[in-house]
Amino acid sequence: MKRVFILTEVILIIAVLSSCIPRKKLIYTHDQKPKDEKNEYVNVRPEKTIQPFDNIYIKVSSIDEKTANIFSMGSGAASQSNINLLSYTIDQSGYVDFPFVGKIFVKDMTLNEAQETIEKLVSEYLPNISISVKFVNNAVTVLGEVRRPGEHAFYRDQVTVFQAIAYAGGFTEYGNKETIILVREANNKINYHYLDLTDKNIVSSEFYYIIPNDVIIVRPIRQKFRNLSLVNVPVFLTTITTAVTLYLLFRN
């Protein structure tokens, strides 16, 4: 009988040890070896360009209050709801349909370039005006082993991958920081990229900065499945103990 309990304890210890999560999987940006350590990185932040189906807010400012009211519902600062109502969706061909001017091609332009283009064309109809252009409804989708999965809005042109995960509440205890999947659409092609957030060099990656409509998927570490299997360990051990006990009783 003593052997039965020893065997049971051994199985339990093995199960517990196999479910332990290595320290290296729990921390961001591991330190490098002293001879290779680097603490300064350069990463030129890419500037987002306007793409089909983007939403942009175009504000017209003018000395003539009536002119300004036509486009921006008054010369004061627009509320967030007004910005959404006054936003324009870029069509599939890259054009924005703007009042009085018609369709203006803005695909692959930065906000400053689009601003100059629109202002030049609108000035032909309405003199003494200035244009400002902004992106609206920026969002990143974070799925998998995070505390608040879903779509998260942000108001910057870009955020970092760390900030995007922070919007989702951070990793759960089972989030795998070594293989983060970034899904990005560009030029009508959807590409999968794999990021390792335990590597300090991530800050110099071209995918360190998230752009609107990116999707981040956080996979679970293997220990999650092991821990889930541990739910059935008590039943398993009870079954083994009962079977061995019955075997020894009948054998004797």
Tokens 């599939």 correspond to 92
Q: Exposed, middle or buried by CB within 10 Å (0-12, 13-18, 19+), for 117?
A: middle
Predicted confidence band at 182 (pLDDT cuts at 50, 70, 90)? very high
**Does residue 73 register a pLDDT over 50?**
no
Q: Which residue has the higher pLDDT, 44 or 211?
A: 211
**Does residue 75 register a pLDDT over 50?**
no
Q: Rounded to whole angstroms, how far apart are CA atoms 31 and 198?
A: 9
Q: Rounded to whole angstroms, how far apart are CA atoms 236 and 193?
A: 41
Predicted confidence band at 232 (pLDDT cuts at 50, 70, 90)? low
pLDDT number for residue 163: 95
Selection from 213, 208, 158 nearest residue 47 by Cα = 158
CATH of 23-46+138-220, one of 3.30.70.1290, 3.40.50.2000, 3.50.50.60, 3.10.560.10: 3.10.560.10
**Does residue 115 register a pLDDT over 90?**
yes
Q: Rounded to whole angstroms, how far apart are CA atoms 75 and 67?
A: 9
For 27, list phi and psi in degrees, rounded to 5: -115, 155
Q: Exposed, middle or buried by CB within 10 Å (0-12, 13-18, 19+), for 101?
A: middle
Q: Could you tell me what percent of the chain has a pLDDT over 90?
A: 33
pLDDT number for residue 187: 75
Cβ neighbours of residue 172 under 8 Å, at least 6 residues apart? Answer: 145, 146, 147
Q: Rounded to whole angstroms, how far apart are CA atoms 39 and 249?
A: 67
pLDDT number for residue 213: 87
Any idea which architecture 55-136 has in CATH? Answer: 2-Layer Sandwich (3.30)
**Does residue 35 register a pLDDT over 80?**
no
pLDDT number for residue 3: 55
**Does residue 179 register a pLDDT over 50?**
yes
Q: Rounded to whole angstroms, how far apart are CA atoms 113 and 131?
A: 11
Q: Could you tell me what percent of the chain has a pLDDT over 70?
A: 62
What does pLDDT average to over the chain? 77
pLDDT number for residue 74: 42
Tokens of 126: 């309405």
Q: Residues 145-155: what's their mean pLDDT?
A: 92
Predicted confidence band at 77 (pLDDT cuts at 50, 70, 90)? very low
Range 1-6, long-range pairs (CB < 8 A, 24+ positions): 1/245, 1/248, 4/241, 4/244, 4/245, 4/248, 5/241
The domain spans of the chain are 2-21+226-251, 23-46+138-220, 55-136
Let me know if the fold of 23-46+138-220 is the same as that of 55-136: no
Tokens of 183: 């899904």
Q: Residues 162-189: what's their mean pLDDT?
A: 91
Q: Rounded to whole angstroms, how far apart are CA atoms 124 and 128?
A: 10
